[in-house]
Amino acid sequence: MENAMTSAYSHLQRTFTRLSRFGHLSAIAGWDMQTMMPPQGSQARSEALAELSVLCHGILTAPDVGDWLAQAHQETLDEVARANLLEMQRAYDNAVLLPASLVEAKSLAGARCEHAWRSQRPANDWQGFAANLKEVVRLSREEAAIRAEAAGTGRYDALLNLYEPDMTSARLDTLFGDLKQWLPDLLQRVVEKQRAEPCLTPQGPFAVDTQKQLSLKVMALLGFNFDGGRVDVSAHPFCGGVPDDVRITTRYNPEEFLTALMGIVHETGHARYEQNLPRDWAGQPVALARSMAIHESQSLLFEMQLARSAPFLQCLRPLVVSAFGEQEALSEQNFLRLNQRVKAGLIRVDADEVSYPAHVILRYEIEKALIEGEIEVDDIPALWDEKMQHYLGQDTRGNYRNGCMQDIHWTDGAIGYFPTYTLGAMYAAQLFQAANRAMPSLQQDIAAGNLAGLFQWLQQNIWQHGSRFSTDELITRATGEPLNPAHFRHHLESRYL
């Protein structure tokens, strides 16, 4: 990239390096807010983060930046620099549309709503939550209207583009429409099949300290770099921080250890992607993760394709037994059944991979209607219950805590994010199948605890590229074709039927 540096482009590089450093501070302050910060710090921290977001917005949208972008497009740049310039342009175009006042108001409303949600959710306080959410939705609609007008798209598409560039709701409707054709029947058949396969529940309690030690061993097995990250506890598991300092979290339950353990595997997938993004381009947008669906493809490849496969469970079981002792529920056959159990439930983050897409489609349909103004915040609980009954046969009436209040995403206006989970599951199935084709001994290697080949393949095909290619090009280079949901269906049918 150095050779390609010319006047306007080098000004842009310096500007984006500066933005990256402020983004670093914002990420760590945000992580602290969700893990370590005492409750009383919320207001001051929210204001500090809002101030920082306004500062970054000002740097990114300065008139000079627009001028430099126009000039840089005329300069001779190498392939990576050209890709970086496209990402710079995208960031600028996304930011310059919004007035600083809206950026600040969104940041403050989101922080207020998220902080209150932490106590409102356990209290099942929908009314209190809805009051804050209305302000977040009002500001999100304002943002969506501005973006949609500039892009000439629908309002939801304008927000979806922030998380998944080049994806549209029309394409999602096709992909999800196809899923809705065959998934309910598959879910029913799998549940029916598993009814004849008794599955014992491990008997606790499972000491939290022991669970933590087990988590660290599994993270090490999965190649997490502890010199460049750490694991903590939060109300909602997440992966945050920056590539040189990745912060992941989970939540422990002394009565049950698998949710926290698989949560760790999932977040470690995110973390490995972050830790292996291209360091040569650090501080530049081309060095960032391609999109949220690609990010989710990495966490779901780790959690679903790898960690719930029979070969990996074979190598994970001895670690679990050495942590908690031998019991019948941890026998080889039962341990496999435990980790491949399919059951429609209320909670998205605890859902198995067969029922999970239904949780995502439900949220997608609600948030799309919400942002387009077809429904209001007060309509969410009834609509949620109706869709839960339809897709998963679950009753959520009056149970806001485990219904429409369970997720953190809407609290800070992250509307357009949910579809990336199921897109990620589709990409993960396609990538894992390609890795198996490339390495015929992969399944035996996994059973032996040798994961180096898989990680090397991911490094070569996904991690090292950052945002150098579009999502379609990245996936086509890695697997030989763009997104093909048939791989996801094939994976579910072959594992569960």
Residues 6+ apart with CB under 8 A from 394: 344, 345, 346, 388
- Specify the residue for token string 């061993």: 217
Residue 42 has φ and ψ, to the nearest 5°, of -60, -50
360: tokens are 């995502």
In three-state secondary structure terms, 230 is strand
Residue 296 annotated as part of some ligand binding site:
yes
Residue 306's nearest CA partner among 436, 399, 203 is 436
| Start-end of H helices in 301-418 | 310-324, 332-339, 356-371, 380-392
Residue 248 has φ and ψ, to the nearest 5°, of -115, 155
**Distance (Å, rounded) from C-alpha 28 to C-alpha 283?**
16
174: tokens are 């096709």
Residue 266 annotated as part of some ligand binding site:
yes
**Distance (Å, rounded) from C-alpha 459 to C-alpha 346?**
35
377: tokens are 């915040």
Q: What angle do CA 399, 403, 409 make, to 5 degrees?
A: 140
What positions carry a catalytic annotation? Answer: 267
Question: What one-character-per-residue DSSP string does 57-81 give?
Answer: HHHHT-HHHHHHHHHHTTS---HHH
- Specify the residue for token string 């998205």: 348
Residue 340's nearest CA partner among 320, 311, 298 is 311
**Distance (Å, rounded) from C-alpha 112 to C-alpha 232?**
23
> What are the C-alpha distances in Å from 393 to residues 30, 181, 187, 297, 388?
37, 16, 11, 27, 6
Distance in Å from the first CA to the final CA of the chain = 50
- Specify the residue for token string 């015929």: 440
121: tokens are 């959710």
Using CA of residue 309, residue 314, residue 318, residue 324, what is the dihedral sign? Answer: positive
How many C-beta neighbours within 10 Å does residue 408 have?
19
Whether residue 349 contacts residue 262, with contact meaning beta carbons closer than 8 Å, is answered with no
Give the annotated binding-site residues. Answer: 266, 270, 296
Give the annotated binding-site residues for Zn(2+). Answer: 266, 270, 296
